[in-house]
Amino acid sequence: MAHVEINGGPASVEAVHRVATWNYGHFTSMQVRQRAVAGLALHLHRLRDGSRELFPERAAPSERTIVELVRHALGDQKDASVRVTVVPAGSDPEGVDVMVSVSEPAPDAAGAPLRVRTVTYERELPHLKHVATLGLTYHYLAARAAGFDDALFVARDGRISEGSVWNVAFWDGERVIWPDAPQLTGITMQVLRLGLKKLGIPDEQRTLTAASLPGMRAAAAANSRCPAQPIATIGETTLPDSAEFAALLREAWRAMPWDDL
């Protein structure tokens, strides 16, 4: 059962309607396990930076306030999916409202390897996790209708960037490679890179295009719901080692401690 609070109180129909109608804000999504979060500080920094960019004239909530609001919305729950959304305040022209949504925890087990297709698309303000999600949802649904599982975005200059709601990691047989292109630097991606460094596994960001794909042995999608979802094919390119690569990424994920709320 979903539970929604705004600024620590019950979310009224009027408040939720205002948020949906205004449709201007940013958010972060996280999985909570035993009241701990992977990369909690990174989530808080994302919210801070998003508020500074989208609401430069408004006072942003402190990181401590965000954590207190998440704790309050969780109540007695130890495991949950949590989304924190920051929007302009309805009653205060100099403030913001913080909406915390709590729902059932998402299983992080990988599903069957994905078949994805590439599509030329660039999100607006790609470095922000903002609420303007129509374009990415459209391309995800279009890929599904065409018989694929998801879409991998390619910028207008030909650079591979990110998936619909995930970052993509590649394996060339020697190192982990992340696309160097305008994209959202996902929290899971950041945690994985820290874990890879801890394990001594080389990784880097590199410009990748469609011409780079035949040289890759594996690929995986990474987001807050699943840190390592194998990708079987991208278009006509088969990635034979994706299951083994996903196992490697999961090892890096497990190498990093979770932060108590």
Q: 101-123 pLDDT, tens per residue?
A: 999 999 989 999 999 999 999 99
**Three-state SS letters, 76-116:** CCCCEEEEEEEEECCCCCCCEEEEEEEECCCCCCCCCCEEE
Q: How confident is the model at residue 258 (pLDDT cuts 50, 70, 90)?
A: very high
CATH class of 114-256: alpha beta
Residue-wise pLDDT tens digits, 59-102: 999 999 999 999 999 999 999 999 999 999 987 889 999 999 99
* Region(s) of the chain under CATH 3.20.10.10: 114-256
In the chain, residues under CATH classification 3.30.470.10 are 3-103
What fold characterizes domain 3-103?
Answer: D-amino Acid Aminotransferase; Chain A, domain 1 (3.30.470)
How do residues 120-151 score in pLDDT, each as one tens digit? 999 999 999 999 999 999 999 999 999 999 99
Question: pTM of the full predicted structure?
Answer: 0.95
- Please report the pLDDT score of residue 23 as a whole number: 85
**pLDDT tens by residue, 178-218:** 999 999 999 999 999 999 999 999 999 999 999 999 999 99
Other beta carbons less than 10 A from residue 78's beta carbon: 11
Can you tell me the distance from the alpha carbon of 9 to that of 235, in angstroms, rounded to the nearest whole number?
47
DSSP 8-state class, residue 130: B
Residue 21 φ/ψ, nearest 5 degrees: -75, -40
Tokens of residue 105, six digits: 């925890």
The whole-angstrom separation of Cα 204 and Cα 221 is 16
CA triplet 194, 33, 31: central angle to 5 degrees? 65
Band of pLDDT at residue 257, cut at 50, 70 and 90: very high
The two beta strands, 160-163 and 150-154, are antiparallel
Q: Name residue 218's amino acid.
A: A
Q: What pLDDT does residue 1 have?
A: 65
Whether the per-residue pLDDT at 22 is higher than 90: the answer is no
Q: How far apart are CA 127 and CA 132, in angstroms?
A: 13
C-alpha closest to that of 51 among 20, 7, 95, 101: 95
Tell me the average pLDDT across 24-49: 97
Measured in whole angstroms, the distance separating CA 91 from the mean position of its chain's CA atoms is 30
